[in-house]
Amino acid sequence: MLKRQPEQIIELKLLENRDDEKIQYIVSSAEQLGLKLSYAERDQLDDLAGEGVHQGVVAICKPLKAYTDSWLMAMLEQTEQPLLVILDGVTDPHNLGACLRTADAAGAHAVIVPKDKSASLNATVRKVACGAAEVMPLVMVTNLARTMKELQQAGIWIIGTAGEAEQSLYQADLKGPVALVMGAEGKGMRRLTREQCDQLVKLPMAGEVSSLNVSVATGVCLYEAVRQRQICDS
């Protein structure tokens, strides 16, 4: 946050009596930026962090920017070979945070989720994302099926992941404008989401388990797209 979006920070609260190198760096950076600093006991930081692990410092921040359908469509008009991720029913904030982090690392342009079937951008998501929540646009849409239709009309090929698909991920062409659809663990994609996909693919599963964690599966799919695009560019 200090490096990428310091203007989002309202105040930094630090653990009393901690004065190691990492804390000194944070304090120095915050002072240079003119940010408000205060000190608190561990119990106070524990309460602020909730389920998270604060490691001696908590940032109180403004809400993240909200991205809309209209922003998404405007972005697509200005983007060559867009790479999008659609998460259908991912309600675990740890999984959403991990997906945002992977999407940022792979160079995706946005992550799209339904408002009614997704984890919100809370403190847990932002912590797990390790900075990606501040830079990876998360587009929350009211009607996911309708947004997928609009993406198709804009020239995006929508590829869904399903264990019963006949084609492997590695047989799919991911070099063009693509949106990868990942379903919730267990249930997978909802029926309307599945029906809206142009193509279904599966990840090869050689072991006894039937599925991967959604954030791991998202990473596998995104980096296959990265691999194909790098070969195409070389």
Looking at the structure, do residues 199 and 156 belong to the same domain, yes or no? yes
Is residue 212 marked as binding?
A: yes
Band (142; pLDDT cuts 50, 70, 90): very high
Rg of the chain (C-alpha set): 20
Band (86; pLDDT cuts 50, 70, 90): very high
| H-helix segments, the chain | 21-33, 42-49, 69-77, 93-106, 123-129, 144-153, 191-196, 214-233
Q: What is the pLDDT of residues 14-54, one digit of tens each?
A: 999 888 898 999 999 999 999 999 999 999 999 988 776 78
Higher pLDDT, 140 or 164: 140
Q: What is the pLDDT of residue 124?
A: 84
Is residue 188 marked as binding?
A: no
Backbone angles phi, psi at 20, to 5 degrees: -85, 180
Number of domains in the chain: 2
* Dihedral sign, Cα of residue 225, residue 228, residue 232, residue 234: positive
Tell me whether residue 105 is in a domain: yes
d(CA 189, CA 195) in angstroms, rounded, equals 10
Looking at the structure, do residues 18 and 110 belong to the same domain, yes or no? no
Higher pLDDT, 122 or 105: 105
**Residue 181 exposed, middle or buried by CB count within 10 Å (0-12, 13-18, 19+):** buried
What domain range includes position 54? Answer: 6-61
Is residue 50 marked as binding?
A: no
Domain end, chosen from 22, 39, 61, is at 61
